[in-house]
Structure 1
Amino acid sequence: QVRLQTQPSSSPGQPPMYSGTFDCFRKTLIREGITGLYRGMAAPIIGVTPMFAVCFFGYGLGKRLQQKSPEDVLSYPQLFAAGMLSGVFTTGIMTPGERIKCLLQIQASSGETKYAGPLDCAKKLFKESGIRGIYKGTVLTLMRDVPASGMYFMTYEWLKNIFTPEGKSVNELSVPRILVAGGFAGIFNWAVAIPPDVLKSRFQTAPPGKYPNGFKDVLRELIRNEGVTSLYTGFTAVMIRAFPANAACFLGFEVAMKFLNWITPNL
């Protein structure tokens, strides 16, 4: 995804570095082996558990803030707003992990070896630019995650309600239906998130000072050179991952909640 989004523009008459998702997959596998497919993943993996914990906490808090009592049923716009709050909460964890991941993946594509790994990357970024260097792209991460998280949770709750048989509770939803609801929530999430994600990847991997006006400069350059459709670069790669990853995520959440409610019913 990042490699597709940040590949350099091809010269006139020359093919692009990657013609699409599967071409990128094939070339990465040939050049770097199976480990190349997981380049830069250490930082996101380290952050994924606290990130999802904060994400679901933020969503729960967003719902509580809008309820007069725990039994109140929220409207879909209210669920969207609660989801947006979760996106604000996760940005602090997501931004540095995404920054490091993007730099390591771009490094692998270019053949240069500036960073030995995630920790070395973080250390050098801090040395070069301080904490701002590590958190470069925070605004674009917010622009991606706030609306996308709203769509994520609203879609999940909407589909759960649709899939719940009449007279039954959403808490009795079967595993396959939870998986489908979670998977499609992930797809709707990324349908909203991809354009700002493309801008974020470009901005986070750009040399210092290239985009003095932030995302406005990135957007202007991208549309001028590659057209509006470039905002959806990496769409196929993202969607291949979105359904199974988020289906598993929501299933894990539902199982965890049932387990916690079982061992601490009065909490």
Structure 2
Amino acid sequence: MARNQDGTKPLKSVRTAFKIIEYLKEHDSGSVKELSQQLGFPKSTVHTHLSTLNQLGYLTNDNGTYRLSFRFVHLGRSIEESHELRQIVSPVVENVADETGERVYFAVEENGLVTNIAIVEGEKSIQHQFLPGGQTRMHTTASGKAILAFLQPEEVDEIVRQWGMPPQAPNTITERDELNASLESIRENGIAYAREESFKGMFEIAKPILSDDERPYGALEIAGPIKRLDDQQYCRELVDTVEKAANEIEVNLLL
């Protein structure tokens, strides 16, 4: 079995439990038979894990159909309330969404993935199910690339080695040379763009939030339909908005 970066051997039982949890998250519910067939685990293994998670209060069981319980909501709320950076950025994210009407994110890097910690839907935003805690590969989004641009080269190397650069949308960057050129442009201009790189039809604009020593706290992103955001004048307006908002966040981080 592969080892983690610190040399620790992962526990198979924990991996199995979280594969079951992730499956139920994606499919809303599942039975022992369904989970066994879809995940390739023996029915006895699936049943033991489901029963244990049910007893601990993390799953509900309705005549053999299992679902995630609201205990996960409680955990999520606890994380949100204790996350200092989220408390600082959330009001700014809300203001930008109100001002622009677009979907606005604040994202950080966690375990080599870009992770949304604050999301607000503006009145014009396309309704997708984006929630705090959602993760994706960093090379596919404007916010991910904005963060990558200010990591050390060896950190970028490790992230690419761990997660690869598979295509996710029509224009996803899949070659390292192209990614390097994109990151260099972001360092020069201070703004990251993603045109149909994470989702077909989506345009993203992001600004990295940096510490005094230029380490990225995260990135502020505005996203919306490419037909609307790729208009030259409107795009400039959104860049101005995201730059002012990012500056506000950086000032608040110093207080």
Length-normalised TM-score, structure 2 = 0.25
Larger relative contact order (C-alpha < 8 A, sep ≥ 6)?
Answer: 1
Of Structure 1 and Structure 2, the greater strand share is in 2
